[in-house]
Amino acid sequence: MTHLKEIRRYVIIEGTLYYRSLDGVLARCLNQEDVVNRMEEIHDIMCGIEGPKLSRRLQRAGYYWLEMEEDTAKLQRDCPHCQLMFNSTEAILMTEVDDWRKPHKEYLRGKVAPCDKKQKEKLLRHIFLKR
């Protein structure tokens, strides 16, 4: 009975075998030769980058094979670049963002209203309704 439930998850479309995941997404089943090629192709792109596991990225790319988790885990475990941990202090992104309070401050200091009509109405409504 268990085998019948598993078999229902596979479908052949135009001669190609697909695996239907629990959420209904179809993933193309790969033969052993394609497994090695696709796994190395995706691994070369994401090697050393923190994020989803290699197996998850292959699933998102639409591929599936039975030993996917084991094969990708072994490849990442054996790769020296995947074992390196990045220094999180070096990965901080600094961006400069305008102060959202700037129009309010300018209006309160020198009664300078924004040029945009909608912003001006919003500012005046906010100031007079809050007081």
Query: CA–CA distance from 45 to each of 28, 55, 110 (Å)?
Result: 20, 13, 55
Q: What is the pLDDT of residues 21-63, one digit of tens each?
A: 888 889 999 998 899 899 888 888 888 777 678 888 888 889 9
CA distance 82 to 54: 11
- Claim: this prediction has a pTM higher than 0.85: no
The Cα–Cα gap between 99 and 63 comes to: 46
CA distance 131 to 118: 20
Please list, in sequence order, all residues whose beta carbon lies within 8 angstroms of the beta carbon of residue 11, skipping any fewer than 6 positions away. Answer: 17, 18, 20, 26
Q: For residue 18, what pLDDT band results from cuts at 50, 70 and 90?
A: very high
Q: What domains, with CATH codes, occur in the chain?
A: 2-97 (1.10.340.70), 98-130 (no CATH)
pLDDT of residue 90: 57
- Whole-angstrom distance, CA of residue 109 vs CA of residue 103: 10
Give pLDDT tens digits for 110-127: 766 667 778 777 767 766
Cβ atoms of 20 and 26 within 8 Å: the answer is yes
Average pLDDT of the chain to the nearest whole number: 79
